Amino acid sequence: MSRTKKLGLQACCAMAIGGMIGGGIFSTLGVVIEIAGTYAWLSFVFAGLIALLSGYSYCQLALRYHEGGGAFTYLWEEKHHTAAGNLAWVLILGYVVTNAVYAFTFGEYVGYLLDLGPWFPRVSSIALLLLFVPLNLRGAADSSIVEIILVWFKLVVLTLVAAYGLLTWSPEMLAQGAGASSPLGALYGAATIFMAYEGFQLLLYDYDDIEDVERTLPRAVLASVIVVVAVYVLVSIGTTSLVGAERIIQQKEVAIALAGEAAFGTFGLVLVTIAAAFSTGSAVNSTLFATARLGKIVSNHKQLPRFFSHTNSHDVPDHAVIALGMSAALLSAIGSFSSLVEAASLAFLVTFTVVNSVAFLEHAGHRTLTGCGVICGIGAVGALCWRLAHTAPASLVVLAGTALVVFVGRPLVLNALSRAR
């Protein structure tokens, strides 16, 4: 991506905040309230702490290697080629599942506003993904100003809804229908909705376009995570106070739309739906393009089939865009909402834990912080797997099978393709 002007602190913060809020809170609020009940706000704090520690590790590694390729690049630089290839597949799968969640969320919010019935979210999610495939094939444009405007719009809408809920404080609504709540439930909730924090790492891919990168990058990433944690906590409490935990759990896919409607009537519903549509739509667009670029990098290192490195006349990895967009569309058509959120969160927890481990082992930054990131990441992965084993064993089996395909099937596929050449 070429720019005539480099990204300053404000633009970097906007990109990182937009990447996280893009679909995060709109997609995960109802899910976390269903799991953690009145401790949903604490889930966002726990997950935010892992994101903060991971963001620190990402920045330290980016500054050490003077490039922003992310987890794959850092492992590759340390000559861990097999681990880099395995993790790249996990990360790309995580992005594909995340895009399915974003597209599904888009359909849920628009469908709720227009009262179009249960068929609409899946159909519209497929249509949204298929729309962004040809748009991405034309290449990326400089959109930093647009990103700043959209981020401020989302923040204002979310703050208005949260503030109204806090001003009309109704503590009995927080526990209404929430079931038993505990700090342990908050830990399970944090692990389950961790995908709400993954978006900041997209900023790392624009490393070369950041002004005074050694100063701007860590400030932007860490400040953005803190801002997003605060927003998520306020929105979770304010929204539940307005609508009640029971109704949010029943209609978890459109939790914030319910709050907007309760606060400001039809105007609030429309306002929140517009914010959700723009947020999820822009998140799908940016994630699809960034994932395709990552796929090209990984393919150039012969850790993905050569198919993914093909580019069109706009220098866009067109085969990767098409394959990733179609895969996300398929998942949005057949996957359950909660299962998709859990799968995406697990993929990013594994990725962030590996990044923290690399930073710790290579003495990048303060080892106390990177070590805490490793411990917290392992704990969150274990918590999510434990919860899935007790609540959705079939989902855990599918995830384990996917991991087996990645770690065992990946080298077999690559070797077969290599011999075919």
Residue 7's beta-bridge partner residues?
A: 210
Residue 344 has pLDDT above 50, yes or no: yes
363: left (phi over 0), alpha (psi -120 to 50) or beta: left
Give the three-class secondary structure for 7: strand
In angstroms and rounded to an integer, the radius of gyration of the C-alpha atoms of the chain is 20
Kindly tell me the burial class for residue 66, based on how many C-beta atoms sit within 10 Å of its own C-beta (0-12, 13-18, 19 or more): exposed
* Tokens, residue 50: 């892992």
Per-residue pLDDT of 346-382, as tens digits, reads: 999 999 999 999 999 989 989 999 999 999 999 999 9
Domain residue extents for the chain: 9-420
Residue 118 contacts by C-beta under 8 Å, 6 or more apart in sequence?
A: none
Phi first, then psi, for residue 367 (nearest 5°) are -70, -25
Length of the chain: 421
Tell me if 104 sits within 8 A of 337, measured CB to CB: yes
- Average confidence (pLDDT) over 288-309: 86
Residue 411 has pLDDT above 80, yes or no: no
Three-state helix/strand/coil letters over 258-282: HHHHHHHHHHHHHHHHHHHHHHHHH
Residue 3 has pLDDT above 60, yes or no: no
Q: Residue 303: which of 415, 173, 223, 197 has the closest Cα?
A: 415
Q: Does domain 9-420 have CATH number 1.20.1740.10?
A: yes
Per-residue pLDDT of 157-216, as tens digits, reads: 999 999 999 998 888 787 776 666 778 889 999 999 999 998 888 788 778 788 888 999
How many angstroms separate the CA atoms of 73 and 61, rounded? 10
* Tokens, residue 154: 């989302």
* Tokens, residue 405: 């395909």
How many angstroms separate the CA atoms of 251 and 132, rounded? 27
Alpha carbon dihedral 100, 105, 107, 108, in 10-degree steps, equals 140
Give the mean pLDDT of the chain. 87
Per-residue pLDDT of 254-286, as tens digits, reads: 999 999 999 999 999 999 999 999 888 888 888
Tell me if 18 sits within 8 A of 282, measured CB to CB: yes
The residue written with tokens 């963001």 in the block is 55
Per-residue pLDDT of 40-97, as tens digits, reads: 999 999 999 999 999 999 999 998 888 776 888 888 888 888 888 889 889 999 999 9
Report the pLDDT value the prediction gives residue 1, as an integer from 0 to 100: 45
Report the pLDDT value the prediction gives residue 192, as an integer from 0 to 100: 92
- Residues of the chain with pLDDT > 90, as a percent, come to 43
Tell me if 86 sits within 8 A of 410, measured CB to CB: yes
More confident residue, 398 or 105: 105
- Average confidence (pLDDT) over 228-232: 94
Confidence band for 147, pLDDT divided at 50, 70 and 90: low
Residue 2 has pLDDT above 90, yes or no: no
